[in-house]
Structures are given as structure tokens and as C-alpha cells.
Chains A and B, each alone.
Chain A
Amino acid sequence: MTTPKTLYDKIWDAHVAHEADDGTCLLYIDRHLVHEVTSPQAFEGLRLAGRSVRAPEKTIAVPDHNVPTTIDRKSGIDNEESRIQVEALDKNARDFGVHYYPVSDIRQGIVHIVGPEQGWTLPGMTVVCGDSHTATHGAFGALAHGIGTSEVEHVLATQTLIQKKSKNMKVEIKGKLRPGVTAKDITLSVIGATGTAGGTGYVIEYCGEAIRDLSMEGRMTVCNMAIEGGARAGLIAPDEKTFEYCKGRPHAPKGAAWEQAVEYWKSLFTDEGAYFDKVIEIDGEDIAPVVTWGTSPEDVLPITESVPAPESFQGGKVEAVKRSLDYMGLSAGQKLTDIKIDTVFIGSCTNGRIEDLRAAAKILEGKKVKDGMRAMVVPGSGLVRAQAEEEGLADIFKDAGFEWRLAGCSMCLAMNPDQLSEGERCASTSNRNFEGRQGYKGRTHLVSPAMAAAAAVTGYLTDVREMI
């Protein structure tokens, strides 16, 4: 009998184009996603060396980080540096002949939402992008991770990446989730349990009933934040839901090729008895709606708790927590539900998909954003936006007092005009609460879309279970 393999082992083995004696491999890359911020230096490197893109048909470019999300963006980008970066991507995509979705295309959006939406992301693939949230695509049972710009250049030139294999970690979420608990609460709770370095050196496979029960959108949310736990990638074995999601997408296989692909994809699961270097088990029913209180994604607590004291931590974390609380303007013992919010941001590659907008709209229906608050929804792609309009979600958001924006990364990283001002406090569906992430001295609390909507209505961090 052959040695049982994990899902990661199987995908890895299927992509090794060359292995050196010391275990250094050339991993073949099936899909390379490119955005405007981490690619200009890579394309420039190719030009300087007289190299071409080895597989332009496997390379997909879309601007997302810098693009304004206001309706008037058709008139161009005001910020000169942002404009130059987007124009550089336009030119590079054209010069090197890669697939491209410009800002004017309805299919434009956040690269990690566009990839799956267009059927570029399929099970069993290797997917890379110069962006740490590439982990998102792991929801399809694709090995997907972020790379630096030098590696972007390496993949453009060779369609491979120099890699050594990571270790296997299993994160099992057992049983069912309680009402009001979402994929975002799962992924944040896992990071809360393991810490932001808990996954360093590993590829995580998420499994268990609660994961199987999630939609593809929910699975993408879970895998998206694998990087926040330090893991190279997150994976979920493909199943009928995955196939159903992929079927009929523009770049998914058709006809006989589809049948052949599904046949192969059905072999992509962890064999009985396969070895994991680390195993984490969490009961789904123990997971509550959570929020972050500090400046690291590991600073997670159920909404029913209070801000912790620095002294309750150990080692270097004590000083880090003191610094966080000072930055966040919070004091130990303060109830999380007493934290007053200025702004609500719903969007990002973590929570900018149709299901996220549905979850937020469900809470907001017939309600209003609290007076004096700023609230915005930024759909993850032009197609998500169009679908939300068709389903009447856009009207719910607008009636409640939310701004209804065009697609982009927006306030998740604030490279565009969407930023927090000094001291402004935001309930955000994005993925990072780092110092300055959403704007200089801005304060971020990471939450699920439903929790963000609840905060918009009450003006405080709120337990969404009281509103369902």
C-alpha cells in the first residue's frame, strides 16, 4: 500500500517540475494573479534582462489596491502616484500579453475575488500572487500563497517558484456553528487560538463539519486569513459545492474536459491515516461572534468579553499589548460592547463577496445607520456589485445610510482615498488591524459583515445575536 497523503502532499507532488538533492524544488505554477502594487518592478526586471512572460495565458492582471471606489472614478485617478502605478499595469499587461481586466471593465475587482469569479481558480491548482491574501484561493483545494515581487518576476519568467515543502497542519472545526456565528468568526477564532505565528512553516488544511457546511464564499473567508495565522497557505478539500461553484464560469473547463477535471478533482482529499505535523481541534459550538481589540489579528475575543489587561499576557506580548491599548485608546476591563464606533467598512478580499453583502443587508433591512457615523460598502468586484443591485441589497444599504461604492481594496489598506483619520475608530470586515493599516493612527476592529452591520445601527461594537 502507498503512504497515505494529505491534500497538500497530493497537490505539491503533482507540481514538482524539478527537485534538487537538498529538497529544493521548482514548483510549477498554474495561475499567476498580478496587481498594480507588487508587479511594476517585476515587469521592469524582465525588460532589463530582455526576458518575456513564459505563460501569458496563465497570467491574469487586475488593478485593485490603488483604484478609487467613488462613482466619479471614470474621470481618472487624482493621485499621481496611484495613477502612474495603474497605468504601468495597463502598459505591462498589454506589452507582455497577459489577461487583463482594466478599471473600466465590469469584471474588475479585488484580484482574489475576480480569480474565482472568472473560473481562473480551480481545484488542485497552484496559484500565486504578489499579495499575502492569495491564501483565499485555497478554499477550492488549490495550493495558493502570496509571494514577493522578486518571486513575481521569477514566476513571470519561468512559471515556477523555488520552494521547499512546508509542514502539514490540520485545523478541524467540529460540529455545527451557533446562530450568528460566521466564517469570519471561525477564522479569527483560530488565529486567536494559535497566534499570528502559530502557522509559520505550515500549510493548513481546514476540515470538519462546520467547514463542510460553509458556502464557497465562507470557505474563501476562512482561507483568506490563513496568512494572518502565519501559515503559507490554507486549504479546503473540494467537494460538490466547489464543483457547483466552478461550473459554467468563463474560464472553467467545459464538456468532456469538465468531466475529466471533476474526475481528477474528486481525488483531492486527505487520505485516511495521513500524517499531520500539528493538529488543532475546535468545537464549532464553542465559537462566538468575535471582535479584535488590539493591533494584531491574534487579539481576538468574543463580543461578550472585556478588554484584557497587559499583565494577563506573557513575554514580549505584555509590552505589545500595552502599546496596542494605548494606540487603540482602550483600557483594560472595558466591555467590548461599550466601545463606540465612528465608521463601518464592509468589503475587502476577506468579506467583499455576495454572501457577505447579503449577511450585512439582512441585519440592516428597515434600519438606519446611527447618526453621525460614516458607513460604506465596497463590493469586491463589479459583478458582485451588479448582483447585489439586482437582488435589492444595494437599496437596503443606501436606505440605511451606507455609501454604495465601486469595486476595489478600498479601506482595507487605504492606498486609495478611502482612509481613516487620526483616532477614527472603525468596525471593519477586512483582515488586518495593524497600526496605521486603514489610515495614519486609525483604529480598526475586525468583525464579520453581520457584526459590522450591527455596529453601524447601534454605534457601538454589538453582539449581532441580539439583532437576529
Chain B
Amino acid sequence: MDKFEKFSGIAAPMPLVNIDTDMIIPKQFLKTIKRSGLGINAFAEMRYNSDGSEVGDFVLNKSAYREASILVAGDNFGCGSSREHAPWALSDFGIKVVVSTSFADIFFNNCFKNGMLPIILPEEQVEILMNDAEKGSNARMEVDLEAQTITSSDGSVFSFDVDPFKKHCLLNGLDDIGLTMEKSSSIEAFEKKLVIEQPWL
């Protein structure tokens, strides 16, 4: 996994609440056995007409937002299905950060496994960033994970919380399977105890 470094990028506004993972990547694209190449199908049913042409007023089709790397979204982003294809699709499109008041649990975890950072901010702050994102290609925000800040295009700085372990993994691009395997003696000890205490398992 690539290290998550400080960057600045265009933020696209998606004020709709409850954007679910079926919207982010509709089921017909889950038939792949790969992780890559899903960006073109991100938000497919909102982004394309049934004849394959682009829906003109969908935010990511507007020229200002085609290169967006940040989404500012309505409440409860990523709800529904556990499909990791959702962060894969967003990441492949070029999105590195999603800002919202809240995220669904599984989507939130899935982001960190793919070098993406979901940022939770209070409603007033999301609203400020949402308005900022409306500025089109002028909506360039800066995200600094080390400092835990996001800076709007006018220089306002907002601090966010992030789990220290998840931050450490993102910043260093760590594979957490490798990290867990370093604790295999704890897992072995647990399994030995389990065999005695719950032999039916």
C-alpha cells in the first residue's frame, strides 16, 4: 500500500445523505475478480445514462471536478453493502479523502485498508467545506494526515480525529496482515486455551 502523504486536491460536493455502496459501485461491477479498474464505473447509475452517455449535471462529470481527489458528502456515507469494491472504485477514480459528518462502519474500515482517509467533522464544518467545494476548480483543499488537518481553499484549517493505529498504518503504508502475523504467538496461545475451554468449536 502506498504511503498516505500530504496533498492538495480538488474537492467535489455530494450533499446527498445516505449515499450507499450500491450507488458508489452498482452490483453489475462486482463480478470482477480483480481490485483494479473500477474507477470508470464509480457512481455508474448516477453518472451515465442508460445509453452510456454522461449525465451532464452529475458532479464528477463537470469539467471542474473530473480530477477531484476529495469528496465532501452528506451524512452516513457508504451505508449498505460491505463491498470493498466501493473504496476500490473511489480510489481508482482518484479519490483519496471523503469528508462527512458520519460514515457507515464497514465502509469506514475498508477505506483505511486501501490507503484512503475518511474524515469525520461536525455538521457546521462539513457545511463550510461543502460550500467551499461548490467553488469548482477553485475548491482546492489540503489534507495533512500527520497534522490531522484539512485546509479549505480560503485557508481555514479544520482539525480531525483519527485512530492512532489506523493513522500509523496509513502514513507508513503498512500491510496489517504482516503486523498481525508478528503476534502469531498470542493467536496460538489463544487457540490452545480455546481447545480446552470450548472443545466443541
Contact = CB atoms under 8 A, between A and B. Distances in A.
Chain B CB within 10 Å, residue with most, of A122, A145, A415: A415
Contacts of A149: 35, 84, 110
Nearest to A24: B165
Nearest to A44: B33
B23 interface: yes
A149 B76 CA distance: 21
Contacts, number: 186
A39 to B, nearest CB: 9
Contact of A81 (B22, B31, B199, B200): B31
Contacts of A82: 31
A131 B200 contact: no
Contacts of B181: 157-158
A436 B194 contact: no
13 contacts: A18-B190, A44-B33, A54-B187, A84-B33, A122-B200, A131-B82, A146-B82, A148-B113, A162-B176, A196-B79, A197-B104, A296-B20, A441-B45
A258 B28 contact: no
A146 B75 contact: no
A201 interface: yes
B22 A319 contact: no
Interface of A: 17-18, 20, 22, 24, 26, 28, 30, 37-38, 40-41, 44, 49, 51, 54, 58, 65-66, 79, 81-82, 84-85, 88, 122, 124-125, 130-132, 145-151, 153-154, 157-160, 162, 164, 196-197, 200-201, 228, 230, 232, 253, 257-258, 260-261, 264, 296, 298, 315-317, 319-320, 323, 413-415, 422, 432, 434-437, 440-441
Given A157-B181, A261-B200, A436-B45, A81 B32 contact: yes
B201 A197 contact: no
A28 B194 contact: yes
A88 B33 contact: yes
A18 B79 contact: no
A64 B72 CA distance: 35
Chain A CB within 10 Å, residue with most, of B50, B87, B106, B165: B106
B114 interface: yes
Given A38-B82, A148-B113, A153-B177, A159 B187 contact: yes
Chain A CB within 10 Å, residue with most, of B32, B82, B106, B113: B82
Given A66-B31, A158-B180, A230 B104 contact: yes
Interface string B49-93: 010000000000000000000000011100111111001000000
Interface in B171-201: 176-177, 180-181, 183-184, 186-187, 189-191, 194, 198-201
A200 B200 CA distance: 33
- Give the 5 A-B residue pairs with the shortest CB-CB distance, closest first: A253-B200, A150-B113, A81-B31, A148-B84, A148-B110
B87 to A, nearest CB: 8
Interface of B: 15-18, 20, 22-23, 26-28, 30-35, 45, 50, 74-76, 79-84, 87, 102-106, 109-110, 113-114, 163-165, 176-177, 180-181, 183-184, 186-187, 189-191, 194, 198-201
A348 B112 CA distance: 30
Contacts of A158: 177, 180-181, 184, 187
A382 to B, nearest CB: 23
Chain B CB within 10 Å, residue with most, of A88, A164, A298, A437: A437
Contacts of B194: 28
Contact of B106 (A85, A148, A162, A296): A148
Contact of A150 (B33, B84, B164, B200): B84
B17 A317 contact: yes
Chain B CB within 10 Å, residue with most, of A22, A130, A151: A151
A40 B88 CA distance: 14
A435 B22 contact: yes
Given A17-B187, A148-B109, A164-B163, A200 B17 contact: no
Contacts of B184: 158
Given A41-B35, A434-B20, A415 B27 contact: yes
B161 to A, nearest CB: 13
Given A197-B104, A258-B200, A415-B31, A154 B177 contact: yes
